[in-house]
Structure 1
Amino acid sequence: MPEVVLHLGAHATDEGQIAQWLARNTATLENQGLALPAPRRFLAMISQALAAHGPGGPASEARENALLRELGLGAAGEAGRRRLVVSAPGLLGPVGQVIAPEGFYIKDVARRVYGLRVLFPRTRLHFMLAVRGAGGFLPALLAPMPEGAADTLLPHLDEDVLPWSLLVSTLRQQAPAARLTVWRHEDLPQVWPQVLASLVGAGRQVPIEGMVDFAAMGLSAEGRLRAERYLATNPPGDAAALQKVMALFSGRFGNQPDRAIDTALPGWALQQIARLERSYDTEWADIASLEGVRALS
C-alpha cells in the first residue's frame, strides 16, 4: 500500500530545516521512489479535498486513488512511487490557532487529523512531530505576531504544563492506525539521523547533502566554524561518520542551549513561561510513555 509521511512540525520548531533538506535532495529521493510535493501545494490539495468531502462524509477509495495520483503516487495496486513525504506544519492549522480560547493545539486539530484518515482510508499514514519547551517555543511563536499577542493568548494557557501530551493523544485518538514519531526540538542536533531515516524509510539511502546543517545545530560559533573547516577537507561518508565528527567538536567547544527569540514580553508572561518550562521534562516523559508513540531521544 502507498505510504504518506507527514512531518507536522509543530510551529516554531526546526525553522524549516527539514523542508529545506527535502527540497535540496528532491532529485536523489525521487530516484529512490519517493514523492515530494511542495508543502503549499500539498496543503492546498488537502484543504480542497476536505472541503469537497464535507463534514461526516464517508471514506471513498476512488477519491483516495485520485488524490494519490495527483500527489505523484501510484494508487493502491498500481505501479509508481509508493511513499510520499512532506513537511507542512500548516496541517495542524494556522499559527494563529495554536493558542486559542479552546486551548493549546485544540482548535480544529481533531477535525483535520480525522479528515486525513478519511481522505486516505487505505494508505499507511505516518505522523512525525517535534515538541519544544515553553522557554523557546512561546517567544518564537509570539515574535511574528502583532504587539499585545501575549496579553491575548497566554491567559488561555491556564495550566502548569504546555500540554503537548494532549496534542499527541489527539493524533493517536483520531488516527489510531497511523504511526507516530515524536522528538524534542532541543534534541534534534543528536537525533537528526533517526529523524531523516524515518522520513526516507527503510531500505533507502539518506542523502548526505545538507546534513551538516542538522549536525551543527547548537554548536558554538567557534565550534561550527572549526567543524566546517575540518569537513571541507575530510568529508564524511555517511550520517554516522558525520555524527561522530560533530560529537567531538561538540565535546570540545560546547553546545549552545535552545535560545528563545528576543521579543518584548511583560514580566508576568516571562514568569508564566518559566513555570511552563519547569514542567517540560515531566511532559516529555508522559509523551514517551504513551502507547503507540515512538519517542526519539
Structure 2
Amino acid sequence: MQVIIHAGAAFTDEGHILSSLVANRQMLAEMNTAPMSLRMSRQFVKIMSDALIQGTSIDETRDSLAPLFPQDVNLERVVLSSDKFFGPRRTALQHGQIYPFAGRRTAFTETLLEGAQLELFVGLVNPGLFIPKTLMSIHEDHRRDILASTDLSCLSWVSMIEDLRELAPQFKLTVWENENLPLIWGDIVRAMTGLPSETPLPDEYSFLTSLLTDAGQRQVQEILGRRTPLDIQGQREELAQVLEDQARPEQVEEELDLPGWNTDIFDAFTELYAQDVAAIRTMSDIRVL
C-alpha cells in the first residue's frame, strides 16, 4: 500500500487540499485511493506523537494505528493530512530551525509503516509570514521562551529538508511554495492521489476564484473556457496575472501582528526564502511543484 502524508506546513493551505480530496472521493475510489478524514488524520498524528514521546513499543503503536486505515482489500493508496505532523506550533521554531523535530517524527513514522510506499508532501511558506504568525498563535509563555532562546534570523526551510532526507530516506518528498497554491492546487491533488496529470478536477480553480474580484472571476472563466486553450504554462501565466491584478486585498494581504516585525524584516526573509527554494530545487531527490 502507498501512504501519502500531507504535513502542512501550518498556515499554508488551511484545509483546502483535504477538502478537495474529500469532495473528489468517488473519483479517487475508482483509482483505489482513499483520503483519511480530518479526525482520523489527527488521531494518526496523536498516536504517533504519543508513542514517540512515551516510548510505546512499535507493535503496540501499529495495533493502535491499524483501525484508522480503511478496511478495503482493493485499496492501494491512503492520503492523510495534518499540519501537526511535524509537531505542534509551540515546537515549530526551536533550536535554530523550523520544525526541528520533523526529521525524527517522520523517521519514526517510517518505522511504523514499514513495508508501505511512503510519500511526504509539504507546502513551504515565506518565513517572513510563518515566523510571526506562528509566534502569535501560541501561548505567551512559549513565545517568550522562543524569542529568548532562538535566533530567528537563522531560521530557514533548508535545514528541515536536509533532516528529512537524512533521517527518513524512504519517504519520497514533494514540496511547493504556498504562494503558488491557487495556481497549482490541481497539480498537488493529482500528485498526491496518483491521478493522471491530464485529469480535470471540478474544483481545480475554486480556491483561485475565491481570492478574486468579480471581474477577476470572469477573466478566469474566460481563460478556462476557451475552445483552443493555451499550453498549460501559458494558461498559468495568464491566471497568475489575473491573480496579481484582481486579487481582493482582504483575501491576500496578511497582518503581521508580532511587535517589532516590520517591512524591512519581512523583505529580508523574502530574499532568504527565495534562496532557500532555489537551493531545494537543486536537490535531485526532491520534487518541487
- Fold conserved between structures, TM > 0.5: yes
Q: Which letter does structure 2 place at the counterpart of 1:81? A: L
Taking a change above 3 Å as real, the CA distance of residues 140 and 243 of structure 1, as seen in their structure-2 partners, is farther
Which residue among 238, 241, 244 is the counterpart of 1:254?
A: 244
Taking a change above 3 Å as real, the CA distance of residues 253 and 94 of structure 1, as seen in their structure-2 partners, is closer
Report deviation, 1:249.
Answer: 5.1
- Pairing of 1:263-278 with structure 2 (within 5 A): 263-267=256-260, 271-278=264-271
CA deviations on 1:202-238 (whole Å, 9 max, x unpaired) are: 5587452221224447x6425433246658xx7689x
Conservation of the 8 A alpha-carbon contact between 1:7 and 1:129: yes
SS at match of 2:84: helix
1:72 aligns with 2:70: yes
Alignment partners' CA distance in 2, 1:135 and 1:48: 32
Conservation of the 8 A alpha-carbon contact between 1:103 and 1:156: no
Task: Provide the residue aligned with 1:285 in structure 2.
Answer: 278
SS at match of 2:7: strand
Which residue among 90, 95, 107 is the counterpart of 1:96?
A: 90
Conservation of the 8 A alpha-carbon contact between 1:215 and 1:246: no
Select between 111-120 and 29-38 the one with higher mean Cα deviation: 29-38
1:122 aligns with 2:130: no
Q: Which letter does structure 1 place at the counterpart of 2:190? A: A
1:178 aligns with 2:177: no
Q: Which letter does structure 1 place at the counterpart of 2:13? A: D
Report deviation, 1:105.
Answer: 0.8
- Pairing of 1:1-297 with structure 2 (within 5 A): 2-48=1-47, 51=50, 55=55, 57=57, 67=65, 70-72=68-70, 79-101=73-95, 103-106=97-100, 108-146=101-139, 152-154=145-147, 156-158=149-151, 160-203=153-196, 206=199, 208-216=201-209, 220-227=212-219, 230=222, 247-248=237-238, 250-251=240-241, 254-255=244-245, 256=247, 259=252, 261-267=254-260, 271-296=264-289
Report deviation, 1:279.
Answer: 1.0
Select between 197-206 and 159-168 the one with higher mean Cα deviation: 197-206
Alignment partners' CA distance in 1, 2:99 and 2:48: 22
Report deviation, 1:293.
Answer: 0.9
Conservation of the 8 A alpha-carbon contact between 2:96 and 2:151: no
Alignment partners' CA distance in 2, 1:133 and 1:253: 18
Alignment partners' CA distance in 1, 2:265 and 2:64: 48
Taking a change above 3 Å as real, the CA distance of residues 207 and 220 of structure 1, as seen in their structure-2 partners, is closer
Alignment partners' CA distance in 2, 1:116 and 1:240: 42
Report deviation, 1:97.
Answer: 1.4
TM-score of the superposed pair, with normalisation by structure 1 = 0.77
Conservation of the 8 A alpha-carbon contact between 2:92 and 2:99: yes
Root-mean-square deviation (CA), in Å? Answer: 3.7
Q: Which letter does structure 2 place at the counterpart of 1:104? A: I
Conservation of the 8 A alpha-carbon contact between 2:135 and 2:258: no
Alignment partners' CA distance in 2, 1:25 and 1:100: 37
SS at match of 2:121: strand
Alignment partners' CA distance in 1, 2:208 and 2:233: 7
Q: Which letter does structure 2 place at the counterpart of 1:72? A: P
Taking a change above 3 Å as real, the CA distance of residues 275 and 245 of structure 1, as seen in their structure-2 partners, is closer
Conservation of the 8 A alpha-carbon contact between 1:200 and 1:206: no
Q: Gapped runs of 5+ residues in structure 1?
A: none
Report deviation, 1:120.
Answer: 0.6
Q: Gapped runs of 5+ residues in structure 2?
A: none
Report deviation, 1:194.
Answer: 2.5
Conservation of the 8 A alpha-carbon contact between 2:7 and 2:81: yes
